[in-house]
Structure 1
Amino acid sequence: MTSKRPFLSWCLDHFSPPEGLLLLILSVIVGATTGLASVFFVKLIFAIQDFAFGSVSGMLPFLGKWIYVVIPIAGGLLVGPLILFAQEAKGHGVPEVMQALILRGGRIRARVAVAKIAASSLCIGTGGSAGREGPIIQIGAALGSTMGQVLRLSDERIRNLVACGAAAGIAATFNAPIAGVAFAIEVLVCGLQMRAFGNVVIAAVAASVVSRNLIGFKFAFQVPAYNMHSTLEIVLYLILGLTAALIGIMFIRMLNLAENVFDRWKFPQLFKPAVGGLLLGLVGLAYMHLPNLSFPAGSAAHGGGLDTPIPHMYGSGFPFIQAAIQGHTPLWILVALIFLKPLATSLTLGSGNSGGVFAPSLFTGAMLGGAMGHLFSWWFPDIGLNTGAFALVGMAALFSATARAPLTAMLIVFEMSN
């Protein structure tokens, strides 16, 4: 007895549209849907963050700075059941998409998109040191894969739709359609055919158009004008790049170590994210007791954000990246965050929480570049170096080291900073 075929699959076989037209229409649908999901995801993160560190903090004033411990633990307790509901929602998101492309013909369960949105928004909104780009890549890929499975398309077509969804995720969350296309080609599907390449471009543009119409045409970072005053600066940027490679290796090894420790720990998976939240909270609590900390108001990307001070290594950290690019951050804080941000991200994602590593990589790179910019300015005062320029270059350099995607790294920084 044959199983009942989905209505859309029957229509596809009955009308037999040209393959190029079919994939064109599907790529627009995947891109637009991912754009909508990205907007919802970002708004949900801000709503949870405002509630957790604004409303809840106001309702429990007796906790004082211990609120920075309690909120991440609560977030971890909420994330745990979601990870059990869909194991693929655990961790970064990008490795799971690559695994689906290589081992399962691009097939990703539909429940992953729902679980990933919920788990990642709870994690990041309650202070988890992670980015939103990894989750939205996996969400877009899951949407594309689900659409291909419902229509009973071939593995090749499903892989194409997965690449479309991933590119659309980058385009929507970073307002960077070109970087989204580069990411899909450079990281996910290296052997992309020209025909499939066009679909990825269309999906990325569709996602970017939807995101810009709903959120507004805003760049993540406002960058002042920089000028090169001496050819010596090229050598200094080279030194920064080499240092970023070393810090990137440290970041990767710290994250791998945390994942291995938590994976081998004989403890219920349901509560591991809460343990990671506890350790993260203790780091944040200690950090908030440091003297002379400054806190940029609001969020630099996609809206107003939160005015309540939270540790700089919590969340994506975009407001403090903006401060580093403007050159408004003291050297000692930059140096401390070079190591504290990878530590916080390792505790967050290693314990099974959900989020991306792109934003933490950009954050760490900005801190490294800003710190080295300060040092170079002291060592070569006559050149007139701008520390913010080194922070911007450091973002691309360290992202390239951790993601091993130099083209995507350059394009993301260019598009995020206009």
Structure 2
Amino acid sequence: MAAGRITREHAPQHEVSRRLSRRFQVSLVGEGALVGLVAGALVTLYRLSLSGAERLLRGLTGAAAGSPLLMAAWFAVLVVILVVVSRLLLWEPFTSGSGIPQVDAEVIGRIDMPWHRVIPAKFAEGTLLALAGLSLGREGPSVQLGAMAGKALSRGLGRKRGEERLLVTCGAAAGMSAAFHAPLTGVLFALEEIHKQFSAPLIISVMCSAVASDFLVSQVLGVAPVLSLALVSDLPHIDYALVILLGVLCGALGAAHNRGMFACQQGFSRIGGHLPYSRLAVPFALSGVAAFAWPDLMCGGDAILEQILSPQALTIGAIAALLVGKYVFTTMSFSSGAPGGTLFPLVVMGALVGGLFSSLSTNLVGLSPAFFPNFVALGIAGLFAGVVRAPITAVVLVFELTGSFDALLAVSIVSILAYVTANLLRTDAFYDHLLAALLGTDPDDPQVSGLADGGEKVLRTVHVAAASHLEGKLVREVAWPDNVRVMTIERAGTEIVATGDTRLYALDELLFIVDADAAEDASLKLGLMCGTHLRE
């Protein structure tokens, strides 16, 4: 039996040589570009479908406003949409939520989504929810659609599981690029949030995918960016005290955003009967009310952005009300499990935070109103970094939205401070928490037994470097840090469930779980033991 196990562990070694070959790296670049074209086309059609649905929504609800009979008819339409979306969710459960945690789990090899079901279901669900007016974003679903396009091409090309995950990452980058019309943001988001690894072949492949997707969107189909900010001038250094204050504020608001979302999800989890109909009924009812009482809150937030970019008519009270209303409606919509994302509403809320901070600073300390767009951009970066914990992506996103390096220093300061502040407040990063919930990593899970009781659990991965302390050892021979449990080992595209008799080799990727309270210490120790940098 031991010989059989050793044979299985050594069998994929020829795949290691292939993955390190120049021919493989060049072919991966070409395949990444192909994924970008296919994913870009799919996500562009998705964006156009959502835009058409939102126009139809506003036309119908605008015509029905003031007529009790027509308003009642609209609520009847919402009931029909609720039933159809629920049926689709029952048909394909992996389409629930934004889709980004599912892509994370796909990349680390924990789930295997059926792309041929996810793509049509997610496309239809997103369009129907836009027609219903729920406060959800298009970016998360676009990432999932792009990732599934990459998986479909991988299966069509006959690629193995390890290469398939690389093409899934390329598709995710293409999806984000097409959704935001921001290719560099797509690249950084895919690497920083999804794949969580930086290597030259991977970066080039992902860049090819994102650039090909953006070219198709902007040059061929002519889809405009979702948001464009024009900065009049750079902030003078004397106002950088306000930049520091905004960074800390965004970190605190990011932590509050996540805690509110997580608490609301726990509340919805207590609804146990007639799922998913009963949970979706709550945001659908709110959407029906908002359609006639406060239509600005509906959908992703394009109507709010139009007001933010022309702020003359907005008072401080109006901005604050829009911020609170958008957060509550988005939280209720997303926490119900509705198939939609939060990234675009998050961008809208960040713009509102920056606009509100600018208006208050103008009244209280005499900040020039001309810097209003600057603080809108800073608010977007700060809240994004505080919620998602991807500060590099936040900086690049603002650069692509403004098209200017003038605000680079201020944006970097805000993003770093927001990231640090949110971490110090001991609140989970948004997508890390959702991924842990998706994988069911709780203390009662037999796979994570042996960890310390209580507290949040987080997932981490690390590569075993050549000639490191771990290379060649059995798992049971390693003195692992306290509260660490190795879950799986990926070796050249093959996933191995870790046991005490599993031998570790160079280039192995270890997936382990650890108590959040001990994560920093465990990360440092494992980084030294593996002879490589740990990645989150």
TM-score scaled to structure 2, two decimals? 0.66
Q: Distance in 2 between matches of 1:410 and 1:71?
A: 41
Counterparts of 1:362-381 in structure 2, within 5 Å, are 362-381=347-366
Query: Displacement, 1:182?
Result: 0.6
Relative to its length, the structure with more strand (as a share) is 2
Q: Cα–Cα, structure 1 residues 107 and 26, in superposed 2: closer, same or farther, change >3 Å?
A: farther
Choose from 335, 341, 346 the match for 2:326: 341
Q: Distance in 2 between matches of 1:319 and 1:127?
A: 12
Give the match for residue 58 of structure 1. 63
Q: Distance in 1 between matches of 2:238 and 2:195?
A: 38
Contact (CA 8 Å) 2:54, 2:299: kept in 1 or not?
A: no
Q: Distance in 1 between matches of 2:131 and 2:106?
A: 27
Query: Displacement, 1:337?
Result: 2.2
1:34 aligns with 2:50: no
- Stretches of 4+ moved more than 4 A in 1? 64-74, 105-108, 382-385
Give the match for residue 209 of structure 2. 203
Contact (CA 8 Å) 2:37, 2:216: kept in 1 or not?
A: yes
Q: Cα–Cα, structure 1 residues 71 and 192, in superposed 2: closer, same or farther, change >3 Å?
A: farther
Q: Distance in 1 between matches of 2:258 and 2:265?
A: 11
Query: Displacement, 1:75?
Result: 3.6
Query: Displacement, 1:242?
Result: 1.3
Relative to its length, the structure with more helix (as a share) is 1
3-state SS of 1:407 partner: helix
Query: Displacement, 1:332?
Result: 1.0
Q: CA RMSD in A?
A: 2.6
3-state SS of 1:315 partner: coil
1:234 aligns with 2:235: no
1:252 aligns with 2:258: yes
Give the match for residue 345 of structure 2. 360
TM-score scaled to structure 1, two decimals? 0.83
Q: Distance in 1 between matches of 2:319 and 2:263?
A: 24
The gaps in structure 2 that reach 5 residues or longer are 1-21, 404-536
Contact (CA 8 Å) 2:103, 2:144: kept in 1 or not?
A: yes
Q: Cα–Cα, structure 1 residues 135 and 91, in superposed 2: closer, same or farther, change >3 Å?
A: same
Stretch of structure 1 that moved more, 64-73 or 408-417: 64-73
The gaps in structure 1 that reach 5 residues or longer are 1-16, 289-310
Contact (CA 8 Å) 1:70, 1:281: kept in 2 or not?
A: no
* Higher Cα Rg, which structure: 2
With CA pairs under 8 Å and 6+ residues apart, which has the higher RCO, 1 or 2?
1
1:49 aligns with 2:34: no
Q: Distance in 2 between matches of 1:284 and 1:132?
A: 20
Give the match for residue 175 of structure 1. 181
Q: Cα–Cα, structure 1 residues 412 and 233, in superposed 2: closer, same or farther, change >3 Å?
A: same
Contact (CA 8 Å) 1:229, 1:383: kept in 2 or not?
A: no
Choose from 310, 315, 325 the match for 2:299: 315
Q: Cα–Cα, structure 1 residues 283 and 245, in superposed 2: closer, same or farther, change >3 Å?
A: farther
Q: Distance in 2 between matches of 1:287 and 1:272?
A: 23
Q: Cα–Cα, structure 1 residues 357 and 390, in superposed 2: closer, same or farther, change >3 Å?
A: same
Give the percent of matched residue pairs that are identical in Structure 1 and Structure 2. 24
Q: Cα–Cα, structure 1 residues 101 and 391, in superposed 2: closer, same or farther, change >3 Å?
A: same
Give the match for residue 332 of structure 1. 317
Counterparts of 1:10-29 in structure 2, within 5 Å, are 18-29=23-34
Contact (CA 8 Å) 1:92, 1:357: kept in 2 or not?
A: yes
Give the match for residue 227 of structure 2. 221
Stretch of structure 1 that moved more, 318-327 or 365-374: 318-327
